[in-house]
Homo-oligomer: A and B are copies of this chain.
Amino acid sequence: MSPERLITLYGPGLLGGSLALAIQEQFPETKLRLWARRAEAEKGIRARGIDAEFFTDPTAAASGASLIILCTPVESMAALAQQIAMADLPADCLITDVGSVKGQVVSELEPILGKHFIGSHPMAGSEKTGIEVARANLFVNAACLLTPRAGADAARLRHFWETLGCRVLEMSPEEHDVKVARISHLPHMMAAITTLAALRSDPSAVSCVAGGFRDSTRIASGDPSLWTGIALANRAALTAQLREASAALTELLEILDKPDEAALRRLLAEAKALRDSVPA
């Protein structure tokens, strides 16, 4: 018997919608609630066959929930947490989020939600957004990073994500933000930079596009507002990684200027060895 009697999801986009579909499959006994800012969102939820109670009042949506998951943009989470904190929450109520940044989110939400809150970051998504592209298997084989405060017991939250198919890792919010700057936020910005450098001064070059360009720049199609929020919320770690990229690019340009064939082969071989270390 799962401890999750009633789960409330805030924000029915790609992640919230996928969570709803996955919870319906994996926790068929659990009651589900979905909150959205706008009443019109209910239509999209019903169109995807999600059988959840629908709310636009954030406090009412939280009342009595055993598990609450914030799936809204990171910059709106603190205001939402204030509304949730006013609800009648059971003593065992667990609150988490799916934000791509943890330092800022945890430091904003812990003072409001106290011991109820543990940060999560399931590393699953798409360059597309909205409940239309949500899918129940989005979390299967995804890494999910939890950032419990010192002494907190994340076992129940870990079990929840593992049931959805995630590989769960625990780390501090600070370590999370540096790792994710490396693995997610940096590649996003670099995909945008590559797209700009390739096409800004000659958009007609798209006629020659092949699989390499397609894959390496896919995530540059992500939502600009969403990624602006993420980049600003993780600005220090992201900037450090972008400076590493800038230094590596300068190194490559110096090698090409000479040109130093052996050094170029070494640099590309180093990159290949690191890339080949990624599990298949």
A195 CB to nearest B CB, Å:
5
Taking the complex as formed, is A246 at the interface, i.e. its CB lies under 8 A from any CB of chain B?
yes
Taking chain A's interface residues, is the majority helix, strand, or loop, or is none over half, making it mixed? helix
By beta carbon, the residue of chain B nearest A274 is B199
What are the interface flags for A213-242 relative to B under an 8 Å C-beta threshold, 1 for contact and 0 otherwise?
111111111111101100110010011011
**Is A250 within 8 A of B246, CB to CB?**
yes
Top 10 A-B pairs, shortest CB-CB distance:
A192-B271, A197-B245, A123-B210, A224-B268, A197-B244, A224-B269, A220-B275, A182-B198, A199-B274, A190-B194
- Most chain B CB within 10 A, of A178, A191, A259, A265, is at A191
Can you list 8 pairs linking A and B with CB atoms under 8 Å apart? A179-B202, A188-B212, A193-B252, A200-B270, A209-B278, A212-B219, A216-B217, A228-B265
Interface size grouping (class) on chain A: 35 or more
**Is A216 within 8 A of B213, CB to CB?**
no
A29 to B239, CA, bound (A): 60
Within A237-280, the residues touching B (CB, 8 Å) are 238-239, 241-250, 252-253, 256-257, 259, 261, 264-265, 267-272, 274-279
**Is A242 within 8 A of B249, CB to CB?**
yes
A250 to B190, CA, bound (A): 12
A53 CB to nearest B CB, Å:
31
**Is B216 within 8 A of A270, CB to CB?**
no
Taking the complex as formed, is A44 at the interface, i.e. its CB lies under 8 A from any CB of chain B?
no
Taking the complex as formed, is A112 at the interface, i.e. its CB lies under 8 A from any CB of chain B?
no
Q: Would A256 and B274 be within 8 Å (CB), given that A194-B187, A208-B183 are in contact?
A: no
Within A54-102, the residues touching B (CB, 8 Å) are none
By beta carbon, the residue of chain B nearest A257 is B239
Chain B residues with Cβ under 8 A from A208's Cβ? 123, 143, 145, 169, 179-180, 182-184
Taking the complex as formed, is A41 at the interface, i.e. its CB lies under 8 A from any CB of chain B?
no
